[in-house]
Amino acid sequence: MLIGIDDTDSPQGMCTTYLGAVLARRLIREHLRVLEARLVRLNPNVTFKTRGNAAIAIAVDGDMSTAFKTACATVEELSEFSCANTNPGVVVVDRPPDPAFYRKAVTDFCTIDEAAVILESAGALYRGYKNRRGLIGATAAVACDFPDATFEILTYRKQEQWGTPREVDRASLFAAQRATFPHTWDTVDEINDVVVCVPHTPDPVLFGIRGESPSWVMAARQMIASEKPALEQIWVTNQGTDAHILPGRIGELREGLSYRIHGTVADAPRTGRGGHVSFAIRDSGSTVRCMAYEPTKNFRQIVRQLVPGDTIIAAGSYKKGSLNLEKMKVVSLVTAKSVRPPVCTACNKRMASAGAGKGFKCKKCGAKADEPDVKEIARAVEPGWYEVPPTARRHLAQPLCRGTPGC
Ligand code: ATP
């Protein structure tokens, strides 16, 4: 059977994955066999989310009503019910429902009623608390199928330490990544000198190591020196798989969905207030603005190198009329040219325009010339994929160290 849980935390505390790790141990104490723990990220553009729009599913063998009772008791004990935006959902099914619901929940928006219809037809045991919104994530979690998956080991703090500064040795994090990359990723951001895997929120997570297999995340985890965690859990997850990205076409994009689109750069990238870089791309007469926000740091340097006529594939979420870039492929580059007045052969000074369509004239000696000085500019960018740095990466975005999208 599968137990799905979502929406138990608030910005002030708790984490659905911690609750899941506690539940897994309680189930074992109740003589159920825990087979797998799944961390299921859903549409990152859902506004109700607390942080990373995560739900969990635990695969278990044993008595269904014991599993349901234990799950509900754990949710009732640990959820942040006082937060208006915390609406837990608990689901137990003896076999996974149609994965189409998971696929919709990770790429699009679902309703509580849609989840309830699926749960009824699956004969699920389920309970939605307060406004029952957590049933959406809990149902998606038990319906998930992962054509591609990664792993994360999450370590959790002792309760008396929640809300206090985390003690994790910085140097050991950098060493762990160096020793295990590209089999693990996003522990630290080397270029920006930032620790990525230790949260700053008051929740129970101490740190999390992401990687391609349980043995690689364990190998990195064992190199990390820190305060003693209370609990550790390896999760199989859709993080780092681009599960949220749909193939899309400019002119047909829907608000709050995430796409991979082809286009030709239509205007030169501009850096606006706050350091955010924007430019438009065009395809078949439609255009869309692409954004590389300030937190994407060095990625903006690549974006700034684009010129009109270059062709790219852009991937990211479509929000408020813009595609917020997560990664980008430079497909082809135009030959960039600089066009300036020519240099006067007699005075060795640059001429000035003699007026529209009248060529050029030397201000000093009056010499005239018809043709401008055209030079090819060497392009500082090469065709290929580029991505935002680890510090700006969304949970679902596939890092390029896992391979490039097949397009
Ligand atoms: P954390 O990651 O820290 O555990 P969170 O960011 O996952 O928290 P939640 O508190 O779980 O945030 O809130 C997300 C809410 O949105 C849940 O109630 C979930 O059921 C709902 N939800 C998730 N995906 C969708 C979707 N695609 N459409 C509509 N609602 C969704």
pLDDT higher than threshold 80 for residue 406: no
- What is the Å distance from ligand 1's center to 135 Cα? 9
Residue 187 lies in a domain: yes
Q: Are 297 and 391 in contact (CB under 8 A)?
A: yes
Residues 98 and 38 occupy one common structural domain: yes
The rounded Å distance from CA 52 to ligand 1 centre is 8
Q: Are residues 330 and 343 in the same domain?
A: no
Contact criterion met (CB below 8 Å) for 3 and 37: no
Question: Of 48, 132, 235, which is best to mutate to test ligand 1, by the most ligand atoms within 8 angstroms of its C-beta?
Answer: 48
Residues 231 and 269 in one domain: no
Tell me: do 294 and 342 sit in the same domain.
no
Distance 353 CA to ligand 1 centre (A): 61
Pick the more confident residue, 12 or 158.
158
In this structure, is residue 403 part of a structural domain? no
Task: Work out the pLDDT band at 208, boundaries 50, 70, 90.
Answer: very high
- Distance from the alpha carbon of residue 49 to the mean position of ligand 1, in angstroms: 5
**What secondary structure does DSSP assign to 322-369, as a single string?**
EEEEEEEEEEE-PPEEEEEPPBPTTT-SB-EE-STTS-EE-TTT--EE
Measured in Å, residue 58 CA sits from the centre of ligand 1 at 17
Same domain for 104 and 175: no
Residue 57: inside a domain: yes
**Domain end: 221, 237, 253, which one?**
237
Give the residue carrying structure tokens 């439609």: 286
Q: SS3 for 25?
A: helix
Q: Name the residue of 101, 114, 136, 394 to mutate for ligand 1: max ligand atoms within 8 A of Cβ.
A: 136
Instruction: Flag whether 93 is in a domain.
Output: yes
Nearest CA, atom 8, ligand 1: 50
Element (H, E) at 105: helix 99-107
Domain end marker among 97, 112, 142: 142
Q: How confident is the model at residue 336 (pLDDT cuts 50, 70, 90)?
A: confident
Q: Pocket around ligand 1: residues whose beta carbon is below 6 Å from it?
A: 6-7, 9, 15-16, 42-43, 46, 48-54, 87, 105, 109-110, 133-134, 136-137
Same domain, 264 and 165: no
CA gap 188, 198 in Å, rounded: 9
Ligand 1 midpoint to CA 89 (Å): 10
pLDDT-derived band at 251 (thresholds 50, 70, 90) equals: very high
Residue whose entry in the numeric block shows the structure tokens 């591609």: 148
- What is the whole-number distance in angstroms between the Cα of residue 48 and the centre of ligand 1? 6
Which pLDDT belongs to residue 49? 87
Residues 75 and 68 sit within 8 Å (Cβ to Cβ):
no
Torsion of Cα atoms, 111 then 116 then 117 then 119, to 10°: 130
Report how far ligand 1's centroid is from the alpha carbon of 105 (Å).
Answer: 9
On whether both 292 and 225 belong to a single domain, the answer is: no
Q: What is the pLDDT of residues 75-109, one digit of tens each?
A: 999 999 999 999 999 999 999 999 999 999 999 99
Boundary (domain end) residue, out of 198, 213, 237: 237
How many other CB atoms are there within 10 angstroms of residue 192's CB atom? 14
In this structure, the answer to whether residues 183 and 211 fall within a common structural domain is: yes
Residue type, 125: L
* Same domain, residue pair 308 and 383: yes
Cα–Cα separations (whole angstroms), residue 375 to 151, 250, 340, 354, 370: 51, 33, 9, 20, 16
| 3-state DSSP assignment of residue 253 | coil
pLDDT at 50: 85
Does a structural domain hold residue 400? no
- Mean pLDDT value of segment 181-207: 97
User: What is the CA(268)–ligand 1 centre distance, in A?
Assistant: 37
Residue pLDDT, tens place only, 219-236: 999 999 999 999 999 999
Which atom from ligand 1 is nearest to the alpha carbon of 110? 28
Sign of the alpha-carbon torsion through 382, 262, 150, 207: positive
Measured in Å, residue 53 CA sits from the centre of ligand 1 at 4
Domain count along the chain: 4
Q: What is the mean pLDDT of residues 47-64?
A: 94
Using most ligand atoms within 8 A of CB, pick from 42, 132, 162 the residue to mutate for ligand 1: 42
User: CA 277: distance to chain centroid?
Assistant: 19
* CATH code for position 264: 2.40.50.1010
**Same structural domain for residues 183 and 307?**
no
Same domain, 49 and 125: yes
Does residue 186 form part of some domain?
yes
Locus of tokens 């349901």: 68
Asked whether the predicted pLDDT for residue 391 surpasses 90, the reply is: yes
Using DSSP's 3-state secondary structure scheme, residue 81 falls into coil
Kindly give the number of the ligand 1 atom that is closest to the alpha carbon of 17: 4
By most ligand atoms within 8 Å of CB, the mutation choice from 15, 46, 102 for ligand 1 is: 46
pLDDT at 13 over 90: no
Residue 118, domain CATH:
3.30.70.2200
Q: Give CA–CA dist 68/55, Å, rounded.
A: 17
Q: How confident is the model at residue 407 (pLDDT cuts 50, 70, 90)?
A: low
404 located within any domain? no
CATH number assigned to the domain comprising residue 190: 3.90.600.20
Token pair, residue 291, equals 């954004």
Nearest CA to ligand 1 atom 3: 51
Residue with CA closest to ligand 1 atom 11: 7
Would you state the pLDDT for residue 127?
A: 98
Residue 262 has pLDDT above 70, yes or no: yes
3-state secondary structure 283-331: ECCEEEEEEECHHHCCHHHHHCCCCCCCEEEEEEEEECCEEEEEEEEEE
Domain extent for 21: 2-142
Does residue 117 sit in the same domain as residue 158? no
Within-domain flag for 63: yes
147 vs 144: CA distance, rounded Å: 10
